[in-house]
Amino acid sequence: MKGLIAIFKMRFGLILNYRMAAIAGLFTQLFFGFVMVMIYYAFYESSGSLSNSGDLPMTITQTVTYLWLAQGLLGLLPWNGDREIYTIIRNGDYVYELVRPLDMYNFWLYRILAQRIAATILRAIPLFLLALYVIPAELRMQGPESLPLFLMFSASMVTAVILGGAISNIITISILFTIGDGIERLLPAIVTIFSGMVIPLAFFPDWAQPILQFLPFSGLVDSPYKFYLGIYGPSELLTVLIHQVLWTLVLVLFGRWMLEKASRRVIVQGG
Amino acid sequence: MNSLNLYTKMISMTIKSQMEYKMSFILMSFGHFLITFIEFIGMYALFLRFDQINGWTIYEVACFYGLVNTSFAIAEAVGRGFDVFHVHVRKGTFDRFLLRPRNITMQIISSEFQLMRIGRMLQGLLVLAWGLYHLETQLLLSDYMIIIYAMVCAVFFFVGLMVFQATLSFWSIESLEIMNAFTYGGVQTAQYPMDIYKEWFQKIFIFVIPIGSVTYFPLAAVLKGGSYSQGLVMPILGFVFFGVGLLAFRIGTRYYCSTGS
């Protein structure tokens, strides 16, 4: 736990040094948010669903809020592994990782979690403030349905972040097996579309819903957001949390197994 | 040797070196194909729910999507030299370019060529072909010509964006991510017809960052019977944008101050 806090502080300090990059990122995400929101607005408008969403799975306000949430929290999506660890695996500094008196899996997990959380906080807060209060009213994000629902959203976001860490770790560890372009190229596509980052999962055809809900990726984005939007209520909380925690356990065990297998194969060429 | 010969020679060498690792090349291209194709899957799913957007069908929007993605992929492959130009400024290796008795733009363009962008290009072409095939109206030869013309203009536009990005690096290399809003943001925006957006937003993408004029007017002429003269004239803004970019780049080189060594 102490290690976690130390790594976290270090990472946070590091990212705070790149303020210009954060502002540039904020601008980019605000821009993408605008484009996405306007596209959906046009879809709703041209099908006459603005005031009455009919048989659409979400109302326009829910969709717009979902899109802004996704833009703000984009940094939490585990679409890649840890860049610096890629480098040390390639240049051989990986050996130092083996020497550290730390559990390597946990160390990597803490690193990626700290990195994602720090970067996201820095971008999400100003983005949400702008999306909630500043931008034109019809494109604006709405606050949470109620305080209890917001707390449930927060709880499932915490588990979502840890689940994301487990997925990131699998991507990072896979670098030990392939030389950079196997799973690392495939997983971003899978994570992005099945988490609900490309479009809200509810918009996919009805027949696909059971599969989408079963896969671990719905626990990253779609399920937590549904609490914020009031689509899920207290009765779904336990199911969502169990789904996230079970998948996290499975993926952590799988990652650990991969790492152990990889560590045995490592051959260090000189020093 | 004239510049064009030199260019072909250097590019063919780059391609050769990239083909040395064939498996890696295939996997990378496939990765690019997949990561860009999921965007289209999302779009397709939305059309299953909504049928149309502002009167445009999925097939028509697929033409926009295909056109802009194909052009962007070609621009990424060709303009890669400008895309990674900031590295030369940071390390001071731009000096080498300045010393050679050749045109600088030519040197930068021929310094890199990314063949693996063929993944995005193929998916763009596939979607475009799929969209065109399912159109209700019969297209004439002139319609196809206009589409190809728009594609060429769009490539120039996107390379122009990369030139601007490279120019920016003479002053700052920290905030280059801001250009993503215009490159990837431009692609994202132009995947749908311009008329679905709010008016102020359309104006930005027609006059300031003219990807809208380059793709929207020609396709509106072909698909919706819009004005052909507008479809021919407006994409010229893509060339203009590229030209202004080169001009800015030339001014930028005067401000270049080597990092030494």
> Where are chain B's structural domains?
2-253
Nearest CA among B185, B257, B194 for reference residue B223: B194
Q: Kindly report which listed range (A91-100, A198-207, B153-162, B200-209) carries the lowest average pLDDT score.
A: A91-100
> What is the SS3 string spanning B30-82?
HHHHHHHHHHHHHHHHHHHHHCCECCECHHHHHHHHHHHHHHHHHHHHHCHHH
Q: C-alpha angle A76/A79/A85, rounded to 5°?
A: 95
Of B38, B51, B185, which is closest to A35 when you measure between CB atoms? B185
Location of structure tokens 């609490």:
A227
Distance CA B164, CA B151 (A): 20
Taking CB atoms and an 8 Å limit, are A43 and B50 in contact across chains? yes
Distance CA B66, CA B179 (A): 22
Average confidence (pLDDT) over B97-111: 84
What are the backbone angles phi and psi of residue B19, rounded to the nearest 5°? -80, -5
Which of the given ranges, A12-16, A131-135, A179-183, B173-177, has the highest pLDDT on average? Answer: A131-135
Handedness of CA A124, A128, A130, A131 (dihedral sign): positive
Interface predicted TM-score (ipTM) of this complex, two decimals? 0.89
Q: Please give, rounded to a whole number of angstroms, the shortest distance from the CA of B12 to a CA of chain A.
A: 24
Taking CB atoms and an 8 Å limit, are A21 and B175 in contact across chains? yes
For residue B29, the chain A residue with the least C-alpha distance is A185
Does the beta carbon of A35 lie under 8 angstroms from any beta carbon of chain B?
yes
Name residue B237's amino acid.
L
pLDDT of residue B61: 96
Q: Mean pLDDT across chain B, nearest whole number? A: 88
pLDDT exceeds cutoff 70 at A181: no
Nearest CA among A108, A57, A62 for reference residue A81: A108
Contacts of A186 (CB under 8 A, 6+ apart): B31, B34
Q: How confident is the model at residue B103 (pLDDT cuts 50, 70, 90)?
A: confident
Taking CB atoms and an 8 Å limit, are B35 and A203 in contact across chains? no
For residue B182, the chain A residue with the least C-alpha distance is A28
pTM assigned to the model = 0.90
Q: How confident is the model at residue B7 (pLDDT cuts 50, 70, 90)?
A: confident
Does the beta carbon of A209 lie under 8 angstroms from any beta carbon of chain B?
no
Q: Which residues pair with B56 in a beta bridge?
A: B53
**In angstroms, what CA-CA distances link A191 with A35, A65, A221?**
22, 21, 10
